[in-house]
Structure formats: structure tokens, C-alpha cells
Chain A
């Protein structure tokens, strides 16, 4: 029987089992479950939001029903927590065991396989089918924290170079402006443009899925690997569905992670026949416009500067009552993104 492991003693046992299996124990999870036999823990697994991880089954219990039991329990808990589909990142050699449990492979990399339980990706594509346009289309993936004249410029320039432009707004809510607001400001800011569509990136572009690195070796660069997987996912599943042939990015002066991402993009997308187009950023007062710059100005309450960096739609929001709480948080907090 699968039970939830709550006590620190049980968690220590789980950690030992995971480490004995050559994996690393990660602290971030919502649920840790396990199976005991004769007083010893023989199988364990964890769920972090919609990601399953740290599956470990003692060697003499492998090949039986335990994996199915663990998955059942994690699916049950995750479903009640409001998730419809689930991801599992595993070493490629264990991917077949998950396929037998009806997980669909989303991508295979020589270091990691990503599989999905449920129809998340298919549902996502189905939901957006009305937006599909024929032609040579393009895509930008943007966070827009918040939407600036720089974003608008990038989008306008990109839209001129393709038949239709898809604007994927990053779903992940780690930004000071919540997704709903970011999405709305983008939609309002591009309303005057024909031939563009604004979409929720969901978990499939610059994913909010926390990439677990529990099975990677210490010298593997998990950040670089995550970026690569993210781009392959885009190239394999998203781009073909929307006839996307070009992906646009702005030159990145500030953020190291974003710059690393841009550099990887050329390398990873090319083999899929996708062109990466880097566009020079729009400048104002001799400096590139960025959301970072806007946030800094907001922090200093330099609203005249802000006004020079954002479109009227964003400015209107920043002046609204709704924005007040966000601005207060921004001023009390120092964050990178």
C-alpha cells in the first residue's frame, strides 16, 4: 500500500533509498509517497506541482506493480490539487516503464526523457486550433513584466517579417506582474496589429515546469539542459502546429539567463528548420528599453521615465488602482525578474 511519507524519519528513509538508487534527493516537492514491506521502505516517489520525480524502487522489488501504485497515488493527489496532466523527467533507460503506464513521450534527449501523463499538450493544441494560420509564421515568447515599447517594437518588427505572428506570453508566475496582468497588457498593447495572436505559453514554452535535476550528475549543467529541452519542445511540438518557421528575440543586454537562452536558441532550433532572428532592441535616451529598466524606474517612482518606456495602455494600467498593490510590492522587494 502506498502511504504518504510525512515524518522526518520516513523522509530520511526515502532520501536513503533515492541516494542508493544513484539519484539525488531534492527538497522541493509537495508530496512524498512510499511503499513499505516488512517495516522497510522499498519504493518512493514525489510530486512537485505537476511534476513527478525521484522514483526509486529497491532492486529486488522492481518489475512488479510498485511503479503503477506510486503513479496512481501521485496522479490521485495531483488531480485533487487541480492538475490535469503531469510531467515526468527520467533517465532515458527508465522511459519505457512510464510508457507502459500510458505516459506519452514528449522528447528524448540522450540525458533525459520527458513524458506526459494525460492529454495536456494535445488539449493545448486543440484549444488553440482556431488560431492556426497557413503560411510562413513567426513566434516570440515574451514575459513582459510589464509590457514596454521595447516589446511592442520587437513584435511590430517581427510581424512585418512573417505572415502571422504568435506571441506566447510566459505562463509561469514568478514575475512581479502576475500572468493575468501581463497577458492583458500584451493583448491591449498589440490590439492595433493585424496578423498577430496572443497566447498563453502554458507549460510548453519557457516552461513553468520546475525542471528536476535529481538524476543528473553533479557536473551536468542543469540550467543549460533545461533551456535545451524547452527549445526542443517548442521546435518539435509547438512550431509545427502553428506553421512557425521563425522565432524572434531581442538582443539581451542585461539578464545572464536570458542571454544564455538566446545563444542556445540558434544552435538548437536550426536542425528543426527553424530560423532564429535576433532583432536589435529599441533604445530610448541612449539605452535599450527593457522591462527591467521600467521596474527600476517604478521603484524610484520616476513616472516620467516610465512614460517614455511603455505604451499608453501599460501606463494606464500602472496608474490604476489595480496596480497599486503590485507597485508597493515592487518597491519593497529587490528581484532579478
Chain B
């Protein structure tokens, strides 16, 4: 899959996250989180896993997280990807 257009998924509710995706020449993942200090690396790991599973190697992905659990992160990133790759 390839990110072809701007897309967004998720909400700013507690335990959720917002994902913003844009086309780009290289892969860039920016993470902002209320629990960034403790969990940034784990959030990044989840995002990278989902991207890898869909073969996404380029694009700019911004995560704005409010303490989401893994399954929420996976679901939101996947939903965003589907919108961005349509």
C-alpha cells in the first residue's frame, strides 16, 4: 500500500488517539502523547508493525495519543491507512 492522500482517523478522547497521514518521499513518524515519556517507543513499535504489515514504506504519519492501548493504536492506524491509500 502507498499513502496517496491526506487522511485522518481516531479522536482526542481519553484512551484514544488521532492519526494523521500524508504522502511523503520518505517514512516519517511523529508521536505526541500524554504518556510520551513512558510509552513513545511502544507506540512507535505498534505503528511500525502496522505499516510494515501493509507494506507502507513512505509517508508522513503523525500520532496524537491520549493513552490508547495497543489494539486501539492498531485499529486507528489501519483505518487511517485505508482512507489514505484509497
The one of B11, B20, B34 in contact with A102, judged by C-beta atoms closer than 8 angstroms, is B34
* Chain A residue, CB-CB nearest to B20: A79
The one of A69, A75, A80, A119 in contact with B18, judged by C-beta atoms closer than 8 angstroms, is A75
Contact A65 B32 (CB under 8 A): no
B3 to chain A, nearest CB (A): 15
The 8 A CB mask of A180-198 against B (1 = contact, 0 = none) is 0000000000000000000
The one of B11, B64, B65 in contact with A118, judged by C-beta atoms closer than 8 angstroms, is B64
B46 to chain A, nearest CB (A): 18
* Chain B residue, CB-CB nearest to A70: B12
Main secondary structure of the interface of B (DSSP, over half): strand
* Chain B residue, CB-CB nearest to A85: B62
The one of B8, B11, B62 in contact with A68, judged by C-beta atoms closer than 8 angstroms, is B11
The one of A71, A76, A101 in contact with B8, judged by C-beta atoms closer than 8 angstroms, is A76
- The answer, yes or no, to whether A6 is at the interface (CB within 8 Å) is no
Question: Taking A79-B8, A119-B32 as contacts, is the C-beta distance between A102 and B13 under 8 angstroms?
Answer: no
* Chain A residue, CB-CB nearest to B60: A84
Contact A101 B66 (CB under 8 A): yes
- The answer, yes or no, to whether B38 is at the interface (CB within 8 Å) is no
Contact B12 A68 (CB under 8 A): yes
Q: Which residues on B sit within 8 Å (CB–CB) of A80?
A: 6, 8
Q: Chain A interface (Cβ within 8 Å of chain B)?
A: 65, 68-69, 71-72, 75-76, 79-80, 100-102, 117-119
The one of B11, B13, B30, B34 in contact with A119, judged by C-beta atoms closer than 8 angstroms, is B30
> What would 9 more interface pairs be, CB under 8 Å, given A65-B13, A79-B20, A102-B32?
A68-B12, A68-B14, A72-B13, A80-B6, A80-B8, A100-B66, A102-B33, A117-B64, A118-B32
The one of B14, B18, B64, B65 in contact with A65, judged by C-beta atoms closer than 8 angstroms, is B14
Tell me which residues from 1 to 30 in chain B have a Cβ below 8 Å from any Cβ of chain A.
6, 8, 11-14, 18, 20, 30
B76 to chain A, nearest CB (A): 12
Name 10 interchain pairs, CB-CB below 8 A, sorted by A: A65-B13, A68-B11, A69-B13, A72-B11, A75-B12, A100-B34, A101-B66, A102-B32, A118-B62, A119-B32
* Alpha-carbon distance between A264 and B8 when the two chains are bound, in angstroms: 42
Contact A71 B64 (CB under 8 A): no
Q: Which residues on A sit within 8 Å (CB–CB) of B14?
A: 65, 68
B36 to chain A, nearest CB (A): 9
A288 to chain B, nearest CB (A): 46
B68 to chain A, nearest CB (A): 12
* Alpha-carbon distance between A264 and B53 when the two chains are bound, in angstroms: 56
A88 to chain B, nearest CB (A): 12
* Alpha-carbon distance between A71 and B14 when the two chains are bound, in angstroms: 12
The one of B6, B12, B30 in contact with A101, judged by C-beta atoms closer than 8 angstroms, is B12
* Alpha-carbon distance between A71 and B34 when the two chains are bound, in angstroms: 15
* Alpha-carbon distance between A101 and B6 when the two chains are bound, in angstroms: 22
Contact A102 B12 (CB under 8 A): yes
* Alpha-carbon distance between A71 and B11 when the two chains are bound, in angstroms: 9
* Alpha-carbon distance between A100 and B13 when the two chains are bound, in angstroms: 10
Contact B18 A72 (CB under 8 A): yes
Q: Which residues on A sit within 8 Å (CB–CB) of B8?
A: 76, 79-80
Q: Which residues on B sit within 8 Å (CB–CB) of A76?
A: 8
Which 3 A-B residue pairings sit nearest by Cβ, starting from the closest?
A72-B11, A72-B12, A68-B13
